[in-house]
Amino acid sequence: MTTSKRDYYEVLGVARDATPEDLKKAFRKQALQYHPDRNKAADASDRFKEVNEAYQVLSDPQRKAQYDQFGHKGMNGQAGRGFDGFEGFGGFGDIFDSFFGGSSHQAANRGADLEFQINVSFRDAAFGVARELELNRMERCERCDGNKAEPGTDIIECSTCHGEGKVRRTQRTFFGQFQQVTACPTCQGEGQQVKTACKLCSGRGTERKSRKIEVKIPAGVEHGVKLLIHGEGESGGSGVQNGDLYVHIGVQRDKVFTRRGNDVMMTAEVNMAMAALGGIINVETLEGSIDIDVKPGTQSGAVTRIKSAGIPHMGTAGRRGDQLVELKVMTPGKLNDRQTELLQELAESFGLERVKETSGSDQGIFDRFKDAFRGEGSNS
């Protein structure tokens, strides 16, 4: 088996846009090919584990999204969870059961997962922020340290599994003979029993507590992203893996900016004289305000790009999107006498006739100049 992980899509032999049905078919084919009871090659066991791990990630929408964005680094130890290797004729993870009806060595019991929602501002989402989250969760009992027994009393070997924590049975299927390995129903896989239950937790091994933890929201996070914090879910007791914490991120709308990928977009108003002659305007960015140039002859809808002033790429240090400023040329609604006179002179310089006020007209002087300009343009 190679020392570095192969791409999961490559492992299953599917394209990155494979459908769930494509993934199932590919897994069936690979699982049968590399199952150790059918394939005696030295690397069959490792290849089968690799196939199982790849399918567990790609068949789960949340894990798949994390993998697609961050690759193996984004799995944070989650890839292959619930897969415990082989046992006897081939316990090979719960996932194989759903396809072939055989069974496997089940993963040990684990604490329940928790899910919470955190809402952050547009700018906190852009640059990352730490938030305190108060959890009300099951934690290991302090009195018995999670072993379920009243302190000072005996813990004995389970009479059903004789301390193994699991029971086995052999099952025949059309794929061959498989040995099913499951957690012992008497001791729930612990291999031991208590004579006297803990008085604080009543033999559960856990008690409910409130605890505050810090959640670091990464820079560049988008609305709807679900963050996975391994091991911060509820405790299952002594010797049992904690559940995980899933934090759903909600990003609030911003009054100035909207997001498109890693770029931010905004609209800035430009006076019509400046649009014609050029100049400088001050615009807001995520980190303050800066001056940008307005080129002579700027048309309404023109876009100015400010490099690397957008959203940081999540998980990629040093990379940021751009800021796109759409310039909106503003036409004055009202003109004083001097402004009207100047615009009339400007119109005449373009060869347009002086426009005089007409009684009963609801069209402003500047509107009629615009009509005149349009008429000149259509005749050219």
CATH classification of the domain holding 19: 1.10.287.110
The answer to whether residues 34 and 173 belong to one domain is: yes
Query: In this model, does residue 119 exceed pLDDT 50?
Result: yes
Which token pair is 196? 């006297």
The kind and range of the H/E element at 170 are: strand 166-173
Mean pLDDT for 7-36 is 87
Look up the domain containing 39 and give its range: 1-107+167-181
Phi, psi of 159 (to 5 degrees): -75, -15
Looking at per-residue pLDDT, the higher value among 321 and 38 belongs to: 321
For 202-259, write each residue's pLDDT tens digit: 888 889 999 999 999 999 999 999 999 999 999 877 777 889 999 999 999 999 999 9
The CA distance from 345 to 352, in Å, is 9
Based on the fold, state whether residues 177 and 311 are members of the same structural domain: no
Query: 172 and 69 in one domain?
Result: yes
The CB-side HSE value for 65 (13 A sphere, CA atoms) comes to 8
* Contact between residue 237 and residue 204 where contact means Cβ atoms under 8 Å apart: yes
288 and 173 in one domain? Answer: no
Do both 171 and 43 map to the same domain? Answer: yes
On whether both 51 and 171 belong to a single domain, the answer is yes
345 and 324 within one domain:
no
Work out whether strand 288-294 and strand 258-260 pair parallel, antiparallel, or are unpaired.
unpaired
- Of 148, 181, 214, the residue at which a domain comes to its end is 181
Average pLDDT, stretch 191-201?
89
Report if residue 219 sits inside a domain: no
With tokens 């990155």, the residue in question is 16
Partnered with residue 374 across adjacent β-strands are none
Do residues 177 and 292 share a domain? no
- Written as one letter, the residue type at 260 is R
Tokens of 28: 């069936």
pTM (two decimals): 0.57
Q: What is the DSSP string of 312-346?
A: BPTT-TT-B--EEEEEEEEPPS---HHHHHHHHHH
Q: Which amino acid is at 169?
A: R
From 312, 330, 348, the end of a domain falls on 330
Pair of tokens at residue 193 = 């029993």
Q: Report yes or no: 98 and 59 within 8 Å, Cβ to Cβ.
A: no
In a domain, 200, yes or no: no
Higher-pLDDT residue of 202 and 370 is: 202
Burial of 30 (C-beta count, 10 Å sphere; 0-12/13-18/19+): buried
Residue of 185, 173, 28, 11 lying closest to 89 (CA atoms): 173
Q: What is the pLDDT of residue 107?
A: 39
Q: For residues 58 and 46, give the distance between their C-alpha atoms in angstroms, rounded to a whole number.
A: 18
Does residue 201 form part of some domain? Answer: no
Q: Which two tokens stand for residue 149?
A: 């027994």
Residue 161: inside a domain: no
Asked if residue 100 is part of any domain, the answer here is yes
Confirm if 326 and 264 have CB atoms less than 8 A apart. Answer: no
In-domain check, residue 239: no
- For the chain, how many residues are written? 380
Is 172 in the same domain as 24? yes
In the chain, the amino acid numbered 61 is: P
Q: Among candidates 210, 76, 213, which has minimal Cα distance to 131?
A: 213
- Comparing 44 with 319, the larger pLDDT belongs to 319
Is 80 exceeded by the pLDDT of residue 99? no
> Could you tell me if residue 187 is inside a domain?
no
Selected residue with higher pLDDT from 30 and 267: 267
* 245-251 vs 226-229, strand pairing mode: antiparallel
Give the number of domains in the chain.
3
What mean pLDDT comes out for the span 60-72? 79
Tell me how far apart the alpha carbons of residues 343 and 332 are, in angstroms, rounded to a whole number.
Answer: 12
Q: With cut-offs at 50, 70 and 90, classify the pLDDT of residue 188.
A: confident
**Residues 347, 281 share a domain:** no
**The two structure tokens encoding residue 223:** 């609305």
Q: Is 130 a domain residue?
A: no
- Give the integer Cα–Cα distance in Å for 63 and 69: 10
175 and 64 co-located in one domain? yes
Same structural domain, 173 and 29: yes
DSSP string, 90-107: T---HHHHHHHS----PP
Alpha helices in 91-182 (DSSP H): 94-100, 122-127
Residue whose C-alpha is closest to residue 222's, from 125, 113, 340: 125
- Looking at 133, 155, 181, which one is the last position of a domain? 181
Which residue reads 């091991």 in tokens? 231
